[in-house]
Amino acid sequence: MTNVTLLHFLLIYDRRRGSLAEDPREFSDAAAAAHAYERAEWEHRGNRDLEIVLIGADSLDTVRQTHRNYFANDDAMPFAGAHR
């Protein structure tokens, strides 16, 4: 049996632009990820253009496959090539 490390990825998606508003943030600690998610929700409260999500997966590549809608236009983002 292979042990898979669960990572957590915080994504902030700008619905108006149709792309991520900033680089995905990766966390190996679930509590730190939850805290960052809560902080992002608080900082952006009331902004209906932003969708803030916390996703658990083994890698960012997996998140790109399972949640493609958040990465559809990421070729214009500076981090796009760094995680592929």
Q: Give the pLDDT confidence of 14-27 residue by residue, as tens digits.
A: 999 999 999 999 99
Radius of gyration of the chain (CA): 13
50: tokens are 């932003």
What φ, ψ does residue 32 adopt, rounded to 5°?
-65, -40
pLDDT in tens, 25-76: 999 999 999 999 999 999 999 999 999 999 999 999 999 999 999 998 765 4
Residue 1: the pLDDT is 62
pTM confidence score: 0.82
